[in-house]
Structure 1
Amino acid sequence: MRIAVFGATGRTGRPLVDQALDRGHEVVAFVRNPTDLPSALRDDDRVSVIEGDAYGGDGVDRAIGGDDPVDAVVSVLGRRSESPDDLLTEAGRHVLAAMDRHGIERLVTLVGAGVREESESVSLGGKVMGSLLKLLARSTLEDAVDHVESVRASDARWTVVRGPRLTDGPHTGEFRHGTGLALGVRAAAARANVAEFVLDCLEEDLYVHEMPKVADA
């Protein structure tokens, strides 16, 4: 499978690219600065590096269509302190538009577990975390919610992976997932485990048009 990865140089993107290669895939790594990607990956024949700006849309079409169109798209973009408030929303719109132009259907995107479904039952811990997010990171949550609304309204075969607090812990391969997964206040997920789950969703076509949560076991 040939996979376009947006956020390839981020803390979740890096293990995702490494694991995708280990699993026999080709990767189109979308980056703002190619030097942020290790030289071993830049020199790997299985990795195509596309420099651009997902927020403004520059390079997005080349990453998805280009001379050798991808089979699937993954977005693990994360906001930094200097990022615009609507990063995920705007970048997601450019990605979805390019997918539509080139007939690419499969998308897996990562957001925080604070994004809820309308009929979702939320645990007490989840309600506490939701309240804290609205208080401390309202713009981040609103951006993720708007992004998910755009994804759900698209013609893509999408999966929205929702993660709790992400850590840089070791890749254990031991994690729970599900649309009804209850997450407590202390729930966390190693980024490398989230990367594995994202690839599982692609390879096994899991959770199409669903919003599973994932957390370390």
Structure 2
Amino acid sequence: MSSRIVVFGAGGRVGRAAVAEAVRRTHTVTAVVRDPDRHRGLAGAGVDVVRGDATDPGSVAAIAAGHDAAINASARLDVPSEEFFVAAAKALVAGLEATGVRRLVTLGIASTLETAPGVRVMDAPDFPEPYRVFSQGHAAEFDTLVSAGGGLDWLMVVPPMDLDAAGPRTGTYRSARGTLLDGTGHISHPDLAVALLDEIDNPRHRRIQLAVAD
């Protein structure tokens, strides 16, 4: 069944892959970017490109109204990680709940996954500090969703460390709840998009981190 899906961060590699996979499944997509003029190539049959801000609940609500589900692949490198990802989580929860959009699938990062109970990749003593700081933003995003997203059916899909932009679409992947798969692991952008859209079309996991890898 065709749905209306809004994709925040649609201009990035994962966002573009999610838009392409949604169109492949005959969904109608609203692709949200900060500057539509820079992403004119996204527009096409079934895709409307709009300007929006995932950290602004008013912007989220205005854009998401009338949609069935949302994907968040947004990121900013010019804003402190924790500031951005927490603001986005809060805005998405508030904006989506205000418009009745029930399902949110958001993109996580492998360093927040556990290697043992209570021990995350980012907790290793030799984990590089700049990456730890960035990872903390996603960890705080997850905590924010846990505490604030009670009325929203959300899921954080987490790719492995080896995220392959040039890899093919196989249409298959493995998954695990909150734990790292196979060390650095591997998945292509198209197969990550398959995992994101599978959880839109047929939600099987809720309110957790779902690790995926090929």
Fold conserved (TM > 0.5)? yes
CA-to-partner distance for each residue in 1:97-129, whole Å, 9 max, x for gaps?
Answer: 11111121111111012224xxx6629xx8666
Percent identical among aligned pairs is 29
> How far off is 1:205 after superposition?
1.2
The amino acid of 1:12's aligned partner reads V
CA 134–90 in structure 1, closer or farther in 2 if over 3 Å, else same: farther
Q: 1:24 aligns with which of 17, 23, 26?
A: 26
Q: What is the 5 A alignment of 1:85-96?
A: 85=81, 86-96=83-93
Aligned to 2:6: 4
Q: Secondary structure at the match of 1:200?
A: helix
CA 109–133 in structure 1, closer or farther in 2 if over 3 Å, else same: farther
Aligned to 2:50: 50
Report the TM-score, using the length of structure 1 for normalisation.
0.84
CA 115–182 in structure 1, closer or farther in 2 if over 3 Å, else same: closer
The amino acid of 2:198's aligned partner reads D
> How far off is 1:59 after superposition?
2.7
The amino acid of 2:133's aligned partner reads S
8 Å Cα contact 1:129-1:185 kept in structure 2:
no
Q: What is the rounded CA distance, in whole Å, between the counterparts of 2:59 and 2:123 in structure 1? A: 35
Aligned to 2:134: 140
Aligned to 2:63: 63
> How far off is 1:146 after superposition?
1.2
8 Å Cα contact 2:156-2:210 kept in structure 1:
yes
Could you list the runs of 5+ residues in structure 1 that have no partner in the other structure? Answer: none
CA 93–181 in structure 1, closer or farther in 2 if over 3 Å, else same: closer
The amino acid of 1:151's aligned partner reads L
Provide the aligned C-alpha RMSD in A. 2.3
Report the TM-score, using the length of structure 2 for normalisation.
0.85
8 Å Cα contact 2:178-2:208 kept in structure 1:
no
Q: What is the rounded CA distance, in whole Å, between the counterparts of 1:128 and 1:178 in structure 2? A: 15
Aligned to 2:104: 107
> How far off is 1:51 after superposition?
0.3
Q: What is the rounded CA distance, in whole Å, between the counterparts of 2:129 and 2:182 in structure 1? A: 18
> How far off is 1:89 after superposition?
1.3
The amino acid of 2:154's aligned partner reads W
8 Å Cα contact 2:112-2:121 kept in structure 1:
no
